[in-house]
């Protein structure tokens, strides 16, 4: 992607532009965050839209940029456990999970320290905080250059699929919407959002399946409870508008494809005429990495709907099925969401 000239907005921050993760531009991005600007950056899961997690106004601008109808709590990204413990409390289970999976695609919901400097916008006033140490070298470099904890939801407008390429972010924020920089770090390796586990209470509870499998987490802390309630604390767990703009059906056998629908398949022995296959070898990690890219690619005029074949409900397949169920539950009509779209108040 070519670099645009570094023009400035009214606050002296760079105007919306895509940059490469050079040492110079990572320094610039760090300064932008410290000054209260917004930087979209790659993580190993999906691209995040970051702001200084201690700056109320900066975090409020994330919600504005995303058109997020409600102030949901955000994940705070930090360099390591030591930085996280400046504002969050780790019990034994939290420590065991952090040691096993950080840096990586696991978010822990922890008790927030009372004297924490985190913005109340970041935690939506809760006494817990969601924290993650990203493994992506560009995310780590940005954390180093900014020197601040970074609050970042996925870098999509509210209601649309998470971005796994810088171009996806660019397409979502066509008019800038207050985003200062997008750091292009290539494709996200995992391709699905992080797994969220609440370890703030006595029983570790799965709030959202994601890039680390439930099986791997249970091998460290034993069986996870699943948050079953359809309200409050786990917005990421609810059915939501989180969807391509055309209808999506799940668990469809190839022979049951309807006229005008295109097939999204998985594994060998699939009809060759299928438009796209998430993983011809049946590898769930590869399927996860391809999921959002393929959903976007199939979300085109002329295609009436997407029919997805059954995906095994194991390992990363659980997270893939979770995202597909949401996409099939709420289809936003008329392309990526606009401010006027009647979107739900639930966001993942
Ligand atoms: O992979 C990811 O997790 C990406 C990258 C950028 O790190 N981030 C991401 O953020 O998916 P977001 O905002 O799209 O999803 C965060 C989820 C939301 O459903 C939010 O409600 C939940 O985390 N969450 C945040 N803080 C929480 C808390 N204290 N208790 C319960 N849920 C929380
Ligand atoms: Mg999201």
- Taking the C-alpha atoms of residue 301 and residue 154, their distance in angstroms, rounded to an integer, is 25
Q: Is the per-residue pLDDT at 138 higher than 60?
A: yes
| C-alpha span between 16 and 170 (Å, rounded) | 9
Position of tokens 């990363």? 316
Centre of ligand 2 from the C-alpha of residue 270, in Å? 31
Q: Give the mean pLDDT of 190-204.
A: 96
Looking at the DSSP bridge assignments, the partners of residue 183 are 19
- Higher-scoring residue by pLDDT: 235, 104: 104
Q: Nearest to residue 296, comparing CAs of 321, 269, 264?
A: 264
* 34 within 8 A of 148, measured Cβ to Cβ: yes
Query: What is the model's pLDDT at position 330?
Result: 56
The model's pLDDT over 51-108, given as tens digits with 9 standing for 90+, comes to 999 999 999 999 999 987 677 899 999 999 999 999 999 999 999 999 999 999 999 9
Give CA–CA dist 87/109, Å, rounded. 12
* Whole-angstrom Cα Rg for the chain: 19
Note whether 233 and 262 are within 8 A (CB). no
Which atom of ligand 1 is closest in space to residue 155's alpha carbon?
6
HSE value, Cβ hemisphere, 13 Å, CA-based, for 241:
20
Q: Give yes or no for a cis peptide into 103 (omega within 30° of 0).
A: yes
Indicate whether 339 pLDDT > 60. no
Give the lowest-confidence range in 264-273, 303-312, 327-336: 327-336
Q: Is the pLDDT of residue 329 over 90?
A: no
Global model pTM greater than 0.85 = yes
Tell me, what's the pLDDT at 102? 98
Q: Which of 257, 239, 263, 245 is nearest to 324 (CA)?
A: 239
The binding-site residues of ligand 1, defined as CB within 6 angstroms of any ligand atom, are: 43, 45-46, 48, 72-75, 107, 109, 123, 126, 128-130, 132, 152-154, 193-194, 196, 207, 233-236, 347-348
């Amino acid at each position: 992607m070519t670099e645009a000239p570094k023009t400035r907005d009214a606050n002296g921050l760079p105007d919306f532009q895509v940059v490469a993760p050079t040492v110079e531009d990572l320094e610039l991005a760090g300064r932008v965050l410290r000054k209260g600007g917004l930087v979209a950056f790659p993580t190993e899961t999906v691209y995040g839209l970051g702001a200084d997690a201690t700056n109320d106004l900066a975090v409020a601008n994330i919600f504005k940029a995303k058109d997020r109808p409600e102030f949901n709590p955000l994940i705070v990204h930090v360099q390591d456990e030591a930085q996280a413990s400046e504002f969050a409390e780790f019990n034994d289970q939290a420590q065991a999970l952090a040691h096993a999976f950080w840096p990586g695609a696991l978010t822990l919901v922890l008790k927030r320290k009372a004297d924490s400097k985190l913005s109340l916008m970041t935690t939506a006033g809760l006494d817990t905080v969601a924290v993650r140490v990203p493994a992506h070298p560009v995310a780590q470099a940005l954390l180093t250059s900014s020197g601040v904890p970074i609050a970042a939801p996925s870098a999509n407008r509210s209601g649309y699929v998470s971005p796994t390429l810088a171009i996806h972010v660019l397409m979502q924020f066509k008019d800038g919407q207050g985003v200062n920089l997008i750091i292009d770090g290539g494709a996200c390796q995992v391709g699905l959002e992080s797994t969220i586990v609440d370890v703030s209470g006595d029983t570790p509870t799965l709030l959202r399946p994601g890039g680390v499998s439930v099986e791997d987490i249970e091998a460290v802390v034993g069986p996870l409870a699943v948050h079953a309630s359809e309200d409050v604390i786990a917005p990421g767990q609810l059915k939501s508008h989180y969807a391509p703009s055309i209808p999506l059906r799940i668990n469809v056998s190839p022979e049951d494809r309807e006229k005008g629908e295109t097939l999204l398949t998985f594994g060998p022995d699939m009809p060759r005429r299928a438009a796209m296959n998430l993983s011809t070898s049946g590898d769930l990690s590869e399927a996860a990495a391809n999921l959002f890219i393929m959903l976007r690619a199939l979300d085109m005029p002329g295609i009436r709907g997407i029919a997805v074949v059954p995906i095994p409900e194991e390992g990363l397949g659980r997270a893939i099925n979770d995202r597909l169920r949401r996409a099939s539950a709420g289809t936003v009509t008329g392309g990526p969401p606009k401010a006027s779209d009647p979107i739900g108040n639930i966001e993942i």
